[in-house]
Chains A and B, each alone.
Chain A
């Protein structure tokens, strides 16, 4: 070594500089990490060690018009685990099975849930009974990652009675997650699947909160509270509807287990839906927590089609109830007046185009005027009226009266009815082999042919009749009234129309259904269904549509019984019972409030 002091000092100086330089370089690296990147790394530190446990928001309650509960939240609990990876999830479930019963299917579902969102606690049992919960509480220390979460359960106290409109909620699917990704849904949350629950999902869902727990590097919970303050969940406000639950359950009783069909009751002025029912009905409580496959299959295979909402989805030939539309078109185009009679009297038949067209009454009706023809529902009269009006005007008039459109009710499952749009294009397309105007006019005029209506749409039409042309948009939830002016008869004509409809009940086809003390106006209808029973007899769609009190209508009702042998006159009894129930009960309750 060259040990000369000068050399040594020179090298020492060089070494000192290098040492200083390197340490300063290291310090600058720390500066970059601790000061410049501090915020970013602090966030990562939190993400490492904090886990969120969701606090579900109570779903908005649904009330009827008298503040009775249609949809309620019951206290419920779910069992979940906080896990770091799929293997540890499986291990946790295997261990849990030592204490409580978990089916293989539930294991698979839990794994699917984990894969959809790895950041959330994985729900293993979405609805755990009290026994299971107490058992797990006893064995808490064995399962450090267990989270017993509040999971409120939706219940529908009225059961089947509200099956046609309440809908139900269920766990959100992958498709829904991607479809509504902008709305902040997370895997494992509940979402409205049908009916009001779906229509008003945004209003009913509330906002989920969060609780923070601290975990160690193995994902085990170390600190259950105080890591960060809870974010409280935001409850959703209640939804008020126009439904009258008492009326709804009454209708359920009327239909019972045997009758198939539906009923709709509206407030004719506001369009508020007082009741809506489809039979056979499904209890929405069966959907909560997942419907058992066997039960669903039995519903699907039932020939009476309980999964089909007959009030808003099913389209049925309206039969004689549609004659009022024929009459309206005739009246508006000044083709006819209430006193006018038709050239050919009704003898039970009308000859047109080389064949007889039947009237429902073989004995014939003589030579009625319009008022009487309405009361007696004379087909022959309306055949001639239909020909006089002509197919084009009949179709155009029908379209204007809304027979081609959805009513716009606040239920997502509504389907539009069937009705032609333009003459001759519609018929050219549908009957390329040839068709005649006359035959179609004859069919349409009595409510058959290419005309299938929902029960709701017929109720809406009769609401328009009750208000002289102001057709309301039906709505179940309380909302602003919306009406469309579809026609306007002169006051005289309107009185006559009303009188004609009252005539149906006092002396016509619905005479057996008159209500004591209340003047009811309405129309029966018996349409051919095209279905035959075992004895090869054709079955009917038996309709009744009506409103009361006739001069100040408070309720409009449309009832339809499907595939029955009897006529609309029988259905009229149901319709009047419904109206009676509503008006009498309402009157009673009004007396009560006035007396206080």
Chain B
């Protein structure tokens, strides 16, 4: 099963970029632990190194496995993931120390084993890729999309039930990105996404009204099946009404967290605290930062979660705009490389898997980095290769392993405008 005789082309740019990001992240986790006041971050870097090594090792093993094997494993892995998620709900979950209070850790006998949601991000990608790659043509109607909807929807509901809004956003990102990559027309995607938009806009009657007209115009123009069109419109109306009602029911802290996204200063000691401290830390970094290890906000433990969710704020404070630009450039490089890999993949399954992994990372980076400068709401999403967290580091490197395999099995040469 493992094709050991075939020559493996090592995708140097991918590995090197991932390696640089990991090293950068490790340096930052080390700095985050370097405080005048003892914090949980103090010894974190040691564990992080261990998990990195485990991750790299796992990546190596996975990259030796053929993509067909991975494809075969998709179904059992997915089922297992659902099983674990159900276990969490049934009571084996316990909280993690993140900016949100969720019960995302699987705990057996007092030992925290890992976060099933991390595994879910991987297996959902695999499962959707498998399902979408089975047809030669792209799905053309909502009905045809029932499978991907179900595959993403079930774990999504389980995760939302735990209260992990951040991971839910990632699933949504993966879902739409993979459908896009599979060739689903954008208008259909819009219709699919419309109830969510309707939910968000439901708070202002006039804005919602304008949106609704836009939606009807789209439906008329695109001409989906009559039944589907009706369902979409009905769904929009429903979420438009239900949205504000659900908002009332939300516990105060969740309401506060979303409101604080728009204006952190309304709750400077509670939900706004993280964002304000993060902005102060980042803003005081200026062009070149306060110096590696010397960031005062971090040093004096003003920055909460400085080694997990808000690690990018440490980058901002200590290495300034320059450091931020380098980090974002590395991520950009990684993403473009993965898009390239997806383009040149050998078969549709590999291609979809690659793009799905890209979507996952992209959503993580957008949400986590955006949260530190207050352009995205605060959720417990970690930053790939940076945030302290064993399960996540392992998952990221596993993904690298898969991508390396897809890349090596893919077409070589330079296709496309970007010579990456």
A positions within 8 Å CB-CB of B: 1-3, 5, 7-9, 11-13, 15-16, 19-20, 22-23, 25-27, 29-35, 37-38, 40-42, 44-45, 48-49, 214-218, 220, 222-223
Identify the interface centre among A2, A20, A34: most chain B CB within 10 Å of its CB.
A34
Which one of B16-24, B244-252, B321-329 is at the A interface?
B321-329
Across the interface, do A26 and B283 meet the contact criterion of CB distance under 8 Å?
no
Contacts of A16 in B (CB 8 A): 336, 339, 418
Residue in B137, B180, B300 whose beta carbon sits within 8 Å of that of A214 in the complex = B300
Asked if B106 is at the interface of the complex by the 8 Å CB criterion, the answer is: no
How many interface residues does B have (CB within 8 Å)?
57
Name 13 interchain pairs, CB-CB below 8 A, sorted by A.
Answer: A1-B138, A9-B416, A23-B331, A26-B370, A30-B324, A34-B286, A34-B320, A34-B324, A37-B279, A40-B283, A41-B283, A45-B280, A48-B280
Question: Which 6 A-B residue pairings sit nearest by Cβ, starting from the closest?
Answer: A41-B283, A2-B183, A45-B284, A1-B182, A216-B300, A1-B348
CB–CB B328/A26 < 8 A: yes
Could you tell me the dominant secondary structure of chain A's interface residues? Answer: helix
Check B311 for interface membership: any CB of A closer than 8 A. no
- Chain B 345-403 interface residues, beta-carbon cutoff 8 Å to A: 347-348, 351-352, 355, 358, 362, 366, 369-370, 373, 375
> Which one of B135, B183, B331, B352 has the highest number of Cβ atoms from chain A below 10 Å of its Cβ?
B183
Q: Which of B137, B282, B352 contacts A33 (CB 8 A)?
A: B282
CA distance A15 to B343 in the complex (A): 11
What's the Cα separation between A19 and B173 when bound, in Å? 13
Q: Is B202 an interface residue (CB 8 A)?
A: no
Closest to A48 in B: B302
**Among the listed A5, A7, A23, A33, which residue makes an inter-chain contact with B283, where contact means beta carbons less than 8 Å apart?**
A33
Other-chain residue from B136, B282, B284, B296 in contact with A30 (beta carbon distance below 8 A): B282
Measured in the bound complex, the distance between the Cα atoms of B194 and A286 in whole Å is 80
| CA of A11 to CA of B285, assembled, Å | 38
Number of A-B contacts (CB under 8 A): 150
B222 within 8 A of A: no
Nearest CB in chain A to that of B177: its residue:
A15
Query: Most chain-A CB neighbours within 10 Å: which of B282, B283, B320?
Result: B283
Check A19 against B181 for contact (C-beta < 8 Å).
no
Closest to A50 in B: B296
Indicate whether B297 reaches chain A with its CB closer than 8 angstroms.
Answer: yes
In the complex, what residue of chain B is closest to A215 when comparing beta carbons?
B300
- In the complex, A222 Cα to B301 Cα: how many Å? 11
**Is residue B34 contacting chain A, with contact meaning CB distance below 8 A?**
no
* Closest CB in chain A relative to B226 CB, distance in Å: 25
Contacts of A37 in B (CB 8 A): 279, 283
Interfacial chain A residues near B416, Cβ < 8 Å? 9, 12-13
Report the bound CA distance from A242 to B103 in whole Å. Answer: 80
In Å, the complex CA distance between A223 and B299 comes to 12
Q: Which residues of chain B come closer than 8 Å to A42, judged between CB atoms?
A: 283-284, 286
CB atoms of A26 and B336 under 8 A apart: no
CA of A371 to CA of B286 in the docked complex: distance in angstroms?
91
Any A CB within 8 A of the CB of B170: no
A30 and B300 form a contact (CB under 8 A)? no
Contact A49 B373 (CB under 8 A): no
Given contacts A1-B351, A45-B297, contact A8 B343 (CB under 8 A): yes
CB distance from A275 to the nearest CB of B (A): 59
B296 shortest CB reach to chain A, Å: 6
Q: Cβ of A12 and Cβ of B340 under 8 Å apart?
A: yes
The yes or no answer to B267 lying at the interface (CB within 8 A) is: no
Task: Render B132-144 as a binary contact track against A, CB cut-off 8 A, 1 for contact.
Answer: 1101111000000
Residues of B close to A32: CB separation below 8 A = 373
Nearest chain A CB to B183's CB is how many angstroms away? 4
Residue pair A34, B300 in contact (C-beta under 8 Å): no
How far is A214 from B37 in the complex, measured between Cα atoms in Å?
12
Contact of A8 with B351 at beta-carbon distance under 8 Å, contacts A23-B332, A35-B287 already known: yes
Instruction: Look across to chain A and name the residue whose beta carbon is closest to the beta carbon of B295.
Output: A45
Contacting residues, chain B, for A23 (C-beta < 8 A): 328, 331-332, 335
Q: Bound state CA distance, A10 and B287, in angstroms?
A: 37
Q: A35 to B343, alpha carbons, bound, how many Å?
A: 38
Beyond A9-B416, A12-B343, A217-B301, whether A1 also contacts B285 by CB under 8 A is no
CA distance A3 to B133 in the complex (A): 9
A437 → chain B closest CB, angstroms: 77
A42-B283, A217-B301 are known; give 16 further A-B pairs, CB within 8 A: A3-B136, A8-B343, A13-B417, A16-B336, A19-B335, A20-B336, A26-B366, A30-B316, A33-B282, A34-B286, A44-B283, A48-B297, A49-B296, A217-B302, A222-B36, A223-B36
Asked if B281 is at the interface of the complex by the 8 Å CB criterion, the answer is yes
Shortest beta-carbon distance from B333 to chain A in Å: 10
Residue on A with the closest CB to B355? A15
Complex interface: chain B residues within 8 A of A2 (CB): 136-138, 182-183
Which of B137, B301, B416 has the most CB atoms of chain A within a 10 A radius of its CB? Answer: B416
Decide if B41 is an interface residue (CB 8 Å cutoff). no
Kindly list chain A residues whose C-beta atoms are within 8 Å of the C-beta of B301: 216-218
In the complex, what distance in Å separates the CA atom of A31 from the CA atom of B321?
A: 7
* CB-CB under 8 A for A26 and B369, given A33-B283, A45-B281: yes
B61 at the A interface (CB under 8 A): no
CB atoms of A1 and B339 under 8 A apart:
no
B14 CB–A CB distance under 8 Å: no
| Residues A44 and B331 in contact in the complex (CB < 8 Å), given A1-B133, A3-B351, A34-B285 | no
Is there contact, CB below 8 Å, between A1 and B324? no
